[in-house]
């Protein structure tokens, strides 16, 4: 029996982080449209790293919580699970405080003081210890998603360490090595957490369908090795402008052309074969995975374009890169993780038809708003690239003023995105609170205080 409450603590913190991520992102968007809005209290230099922190917390905590629930074993001590949870939670709170009080250090996306490297690394090591203690006995029979989770944990430890090599003089004092390592580690870091998220999607697909063929198939393992190669080399298309060996550019270009193709095929085959009864029982989880399929397709198309060196020259550093990252984090990772959360909740507590109807409404608002949000980012990226390369007579201030209408539209779509996500996760948070209350105080507490 899966009686430990800590996986639900992880998921709850993850969902709350998603709310904070959207709220901070909304404030950032308002500052684009109204530059003087609250800039003395929370300037953009504070909001941006906060937004990144909460986005990563959403991905990591929810993915870890789901994986721990899926593999939970009563014979393995849960003390490691508790230690890791509190290490990550308190470290996250302290990092947020550093950002609010403008205590910055480090590199892009990891702007916190580098002393936090130690507790974060410790948290991932604890997760690795727990995972391999539970799973090592079945090592020879692992389906592909166990390999993805195990590899993702190891790679997170390696690449998070790699992202802090700038502390060493060899990297800090040499610009080319420093910049190359920054983007190499950052790109591989994303690939490592994608291993955790995509492995989760495969687990949920298998449990939805009731068939284990996907996770033991040659196609599934081919996708695993393809993803592993992407983690190791796909980062290189970010550094086309940096003077590096030509073979790195060519290899990155070839590998970039393979992104997500196999995952699309797996989802397609799964969708075709899934029984009607599973679609009904896990309808929320199924709907979220269908949304991820759409965003995998859209992001694949964009990734193929920006991986072409001649196009990358004009898109690098513009809103098009932001559209690519947002398409990955919101369109793919978020829908997969919401599918995982809803799958767990549909098993543990079930969802009433009224709750499902509410979540479906939220998913429609979310998807329509995010599509507009994503398209506006592409338009803004094209305009910025045009200004950089073809508009020599226009100052940055004049260019920003010319973008105000797009910023307002961007903010409106962002508002719709927030509303849709909140409609989706509000009942999920309520369900988790009920589950935790039952685990902590017994079912009589739920019957007495929670309707």
Residues 6+ apart with CB under 8 A from 392: none
Q: With contact defined as beta carbons under 8 Å apart, do 340 and 62 qualify?
A: yes
- Residues of the chain under the 70 pLDDT cut: 1-3, 33, 35, 38-40, 73-77, 210, 212, 214, 234-241, 244, 249, 252-253, 256-282, 392, 441-451
Task: Return contacts of 110-113, CB within 8 angstroms, 24+ apart.
Answer: 110/163, 110/164, 111/49, 111/52, 112/49, 112/53
What is the predicted pLDDT for the residue at 274? Answer: 53
Tens digits of per-residue pLDDT, 323-356?
Answer: 887 877 788 889 999 999 999 998 887 778 888 8
- Which pLDDT score, from 0 to 100, does residue 151 have? 94
Task: In whole angstroms, give the CA distance from residue 359 to residue 421.
Answer: 9
Instruction: Give the rounded distance of the alpha carbon of 412 from its chain centre.
Output: 23
Kindly report the pTM of this predicted structure. 0.86
Sign of CA dihedral 352, 353, 354, 355: positive
The reported pLDDT for the residue numbered 36 is: 73
Distance CA 171, CA 177 (A): 6
What pLDDT shows up at residue 267? 58
Instruction: Tell me the per-residue pLDDT of 409-438, one tens digit each, with 9 for 90 and over.
Output: 888 898 999 999 999 999 999 989 988 888
Within 8 A by CB and 6+ apart from 230, the residues are: 191, 255, 258, 259
Burial of 137 (0-12, 13-18, 19+ CB in 10 A): exposed
């Amino acid at each position: 029996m899966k009686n430990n409450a800590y996986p639900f603590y992880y998921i709850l913190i993850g969902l709350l982080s998603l709310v904070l991520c959207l709220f901070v992102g909304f404030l950032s968007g308002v500052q684009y449209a109204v530059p003087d809005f609250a800039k003395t209290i929370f300037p953009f230099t504070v909001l941006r790293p906060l937004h990144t922190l909460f986005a990563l917390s959403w991905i990591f905590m929810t993915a870890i919580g789901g994986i721990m629930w899926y593999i939970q074993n009563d014979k393995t001590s849960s003390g490691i699970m508790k230690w890791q949870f509190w290490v990550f939670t308190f470290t996250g709170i302290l990092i947020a405080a550093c950002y609010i009080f403008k205590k910055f250090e480090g590199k892009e996306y990891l702007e916190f003081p580098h002393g936090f490297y130690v507790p974060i690394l410790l948290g991932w090591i604890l997760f690795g210890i727990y995972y391999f203690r539970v799973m090592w006995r079945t090592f020879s029979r692992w389906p592909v998603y166990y390999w993805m989770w195990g590899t993702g944990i190891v790679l997170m430890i390696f690449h998070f360490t790699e992202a802090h090599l700038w502390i060493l003089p060899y990297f800090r004092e040499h610009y080319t090595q420093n910049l190359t390592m920054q983007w190499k580690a950052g790109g591989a870091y994303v690939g490592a957490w994608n291993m955790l998220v995509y492995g989760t999607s495969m687990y949920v697909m298998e449990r939805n369908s009731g068939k284990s063929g996907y996770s033991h198939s040659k196609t599934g393992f081919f996708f695993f090795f393809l993803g592993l190669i992407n983690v190791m080399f796909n980062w290189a298309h970010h550094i086309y402008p940096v003077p590096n060996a030509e073979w790195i550019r060519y290899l990155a270009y070839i590998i970039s052309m393979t992104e997500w193709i196999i995952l699309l095929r797996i989802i397609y085959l799964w969708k075709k074969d899934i029984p009607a009864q599973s679609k009904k029982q896990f309808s929320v989880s199924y709907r979220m995975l269908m949304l991820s399929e759409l965003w995998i397709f859209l992001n694949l198309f964009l990734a193929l374009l920006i991986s072409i060196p001649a196009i990358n020259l004009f898109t690098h550093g513009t809103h098009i890169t932001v559209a690519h990252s947002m398409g990955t984090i919101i369109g793919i990772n978020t829908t997969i993780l919401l599918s995982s959360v809803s799958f767990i909740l549909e098993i543990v507590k079930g969802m009433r038809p009224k709750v499902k109807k509410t979540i479906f409404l939220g998913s429609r608002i979310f998807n329509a708003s995010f599509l507009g949000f994503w398209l506006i980012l592409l338009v803004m990226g094209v305009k910025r690239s045009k200004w950089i390369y073809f508009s020599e007579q226009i100052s940055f201030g004049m260019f920003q003023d010319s973008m105000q209408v797009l910023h307002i539209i961007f903010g409106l779509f962002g508002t719709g995105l927030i509303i849709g996500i909140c409609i989706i996760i509000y009942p999920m948070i309520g369900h988790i609170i009920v589950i935790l209350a039952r685990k902590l105080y017994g079912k009589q507490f739920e019957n007495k205080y929670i309707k």
